[in-house]
Structure 1
C-alpha cells in the first residue's frame, strides 16, 4: 500500500514538472499566411498560471532568422494565459516586410515558440534571400529557438529526475 502511495506521489510530481508553463502553440503553424495591419490570432493549449499576475500580460514577440541566430523584429502585444484563455488577436505592423517569421511567447521559466510561418505585406515584398532584412531592434535579440526534440528531451530528463527523487524520498520515509 505504501508503494502505491509513493508511486502516486511520484506520478503527480512528474506531471507538474512536464507541464510547467510552456504553452503548446497551435496557431500560427507552418503554412499559415498572416497579413499585416489586420488582426491575426495566436492559439494555444495549456496555461501559465504559476507565473502569478505576470501571466495576465505575457509579451508576444515576432522574430526571424535561423534557430541558431534568432533576431527580434517587433513586439506584437501581450496575451493572458493565466486561466482558460486559449486565443489572442495580434496585428503585425505595416513596417514588417513580407517573409518567414516565428513568434516567441515570453512565458517563464521557458519561452514558447511557434514554427516558422509566412507574413505577407503588399507594400513591403520579401527581401532577396541573400540579403536578410535587418531587425528593427538588434539589442533585443531572442535566444535561439529550441527544436521540438531538444525541448521535449529536456523536459523528459527533468521529469525523470523529479520522479527518481520523489521515489527515493518515499522509500526512505517508508
Structure 2
C-alpha cells in the first residue's frame, strides 16, 4: 500500500515537471520560412509557472548540434501565461539561408522546435562540386530530450526515496 501511494506521488511529480514547459508545434520539420516575412511560432501547454515573466518570453533563432546550440538572433516575443498558443516571428534579412531551430526561453528549461529551413534569396548556399553534401547538425528533438531527461531524473529521485522508506 505504501509503495503504491509513493509511486502515485512520483508519477504526479513527473507529470507536473513535464507540464511546466511548452511544446513547440510550429515550425516543424519541413517548414520553410523566408527572411523578412511574418511567420508564427505555435505551441501547446503554457508556462504560467514562470509568473510575470511568462508574458514576454524571448523567441530565438538558433543553429548547431543539440550539444552546442548557438544563438543567431531574436525573432519575437510570446505570451505563454494562459491560453495563447501562437506568436508572430520574423527572421531578419541579415540571416543566411540554412537550417535553424526556434528556442523559447522558458523555465525550468528551454523549449526547442525541430530543425527547419530559412531561405534568404540574397544569401544562397554555395554550389556544390558534385561531392557529398554535408548534413547540418541541428538541435532537432532537443526539447524532447531535455523533457525526458528532467522527467527521468524526477522519477529516479522519487524511486530512491520510496526504496529508502520501504527498506
The answer, yes or no, to whether TM exceeds 0.5 is yes
Aligned length, in residue pairs: 157
Q: Is the 8 A contact 1:10 1:166 kept in 2?
A: no
Deviations along 1:127-157, whole A, 9 cap, x unmatched? 568xxxxxxxxxxxxxx78746642441232
Q: In structure 1, list runs of 5 or more residues that go unmatched.
A: 130-143
- SS of 2:61's equivalent in the other structure is strand
Within-5 A mapping of 1:6-21: 8-21=8-21
Supply the distance in 2 between the matched residues of 1:69 and 1:167 (Cα, whole angstroms): 36
Q: Provide the residue aligned with 1:36 in structure 2.
A: 35
Q: Provide the residue aligned with 1:86 in structure 2.
A: 85
Q: Provide the residue aligned with 1:157 in structure 2.
A: 152
Supply the distance in 1 between the matched residues of 2:142 and 2:82 (Cα, whole angstroms): 26
Supply the distance in 2 between the matched residues of 1:118 and 1:145 (Cα, whole angstroms): 12
Supply the distance in 2 between the matched residues of 1:85 and 1:148 (Cα, whole angstroms): 20
Within-5 A mapping of 1:118-157: 118-127=117-126, 147=142, 150-157=145-152
Shift of 1:5: 5.7
Q: Is the 8 A contact 1:27 1:42 kept in 2?
A: yes
Q: Provide the residue aligned with 2:131 in structure 1.
A: none
Q: Is the 8 A contact 2:112 2:143 kept in 1?
A: no
Q: Is the 8 A contact 1:24 1:44 kept in 2?
A: yes
With structure 2 as the length reference, what TM-score do the two structures score? 0.77
With structure 1 as the length reference, what TM-score do the two structures score? 0.74
Q: Is the 8 A contact 1:97 1:124 kept in 2?
A: yes
- SS of 2:108's equivalent in the other structure is coil
* 1:73 equivalent in alignment to 2:60: no
- SS of 1:26's equivalent in the other structure is strand
